[in-house]
Amino acid sequence: MSKHPYGENQPVESPCVRNCCLNDKDICLGCGRTLAEILAWGKADTVQRQHILARGKQRKEAMGTPIHISSRYMKT
């Protein structure tokens, strides 16, 4: 069995769910990535992307669901 579920040379799709809103710790409420990870994604190799995905998943789980956006950010 492969150590990496996608294989080391397989493309890894972005976890972006088009709910881009950073919290006070610069973590995206949509995908769980930090701002630094979002910026690094384009140049990251498959293994780096898998690590980013794993950390993002852990953050999302720690934040809990659903994520509610404050009404001050909503257009009325």
What value does the mean pLDDT take over residues 55-75? Answer: 69
The verdict on residue 31 lying in a domain is yes
What value does the mean pLDDT take over residues 8-19? Answer: 85
What pLDDT does 11 receive? 84
Asked if 21 contacts 63 with a C-beta cutoff of 8 angstroms, the reply is: no
Tell me how far apart the alpha carbons of residues 31 and 41 are, in angstroms, rounded to a whole number.
12
Residues of the domain holding 58: 20-64
Structural domains of the chain, count: 1
Of 73, 65, 74, 75, which Cα lies nearest the Cα of 24?
73
The verdict on residue 75 lying in a domain is no
Q: Residue 74 — very low, low, confident or very high, per pLDDT cuts 50/70/90?
A: very low
Tell me how far apart the alpha carbons of residues 2 and 42 are, in angstroms, rounded to a whole number.
24
Q: Residue 19 — very low, low, confident or very high, per pLDDT cuts 50/70/90?
A: confident
The verdict on residue 2 lying in a domain is no
pTM: 0.71
Contacts of 64 (CB under 8 A, 6+ apart): none
For residue range 28-56, what is the model confidence (pLDDT) as tens digits? 999 999 999 999 999 999 999 999 999 99
The verdict on residue 73 lying in a domain is no
The verdict on residue 41 lying in a domain is yes
The verdict on residue 24 lying in a domain is yes
